[in-house]
Structure 1
Amino acid sequence: MNDRRIAFEALFTEHHAAVLRYVERRVDDREQARELTMDCFEIAWRRYDPGAPFSRPWLLQTARNLVGDSYRRRDREREGMQTLAAAADGPDTTFRNVDLRLALRHLPAADREILELFYWDGLAAPEIAEVVGCRTSAAWKRLSRARDALRSLLAEPRELHTRSAPTPSGTARQVGGGAMGYVMD
């Protein structure tokens, strides 16, 4: 075990900077690039065999796959937001993602989880039921209720986006009449 660790540390020292540079050129967020690089080396550690050490191309291919997975996950999340927005807002009206994100934050955690499993993760009701530990019929009912709760929140934006903010004198004043007023505070 000790020889394996020493050999892997040498591999890490030799290739870490190159893998990090590779990922940074493909990902805008430096912190995400660091995380993906460490994920790459975590995979390498799990599969590491000192008798057949990995080369730089193998590490870069693994990093490439992780970056691709990251982009696909981001795209699924965006698609989920658009699908959820269309389901909650109706086909004929415009909808701003910031309103949806704010509304989701105001939902109970269980409702938010059901919506995310359905729209983001693409699970069907039987799969959702398995994840949350209920019957399929209960998953459908919970999904329906969560959608209704979300529609209700989105239908009453004044309650969702307006709040009182203290002024220097200590009295309250209304802040924002829309999502941006809420976000900017």
Structure 2
Amino acid sequence: MDDRRAAFETLFAEHHPAVLRYIERRVDQREQARELAMDCFEVAWKRFDPKHPFGLPWLLRTAHNIVGDSYRRRDRERVGLAHLADIERLGPETGSHDHVELAIAMDQLREPDRELLMLVYWDGLSAAETAQVIGCRVPTVWKRLSRARDALRALLDDDATLPQEVNELALDR
């Protein structure tokens, strides 16, 4: 039992920061992110076998499922203007009009496309790691990533798809 615990503590120490960052980018409240990260490691502890250890992709897949469960339990009233308010609250030195447009465009993407883009570009996962997290093959990741980038590019290129408040901000540039 002590070997199992020591192996798990090593896994926890190595991957907890990445799992927490992953979750923090997907939930609004820091305390909620900490709780969800601990929920992820609770699941990991229950399934942990030192002879067949799992790595970061498995943990991120588990975190993804836990975050999804969390969102299904609460009201899904999250729209681009909420991100606009968050960015404006941070101040002009941390947010730009381009970041506002990106946040709003990301919110308008289908959930699977948004998740894929976040895994690759925000979390820095490789195609193979991303495939493990979302449960598909590597060629599928590349195909879906291409489609997600095209969809995001279309939203960013077409000001008509963005809320009126963002179009007004663009005029102020």
Higher RCO (C-alpha 8 Å, min separation 6):
2
Same-fold status (TM-score > 0.5)? no
- TM-score using structure 2 length: 0.43
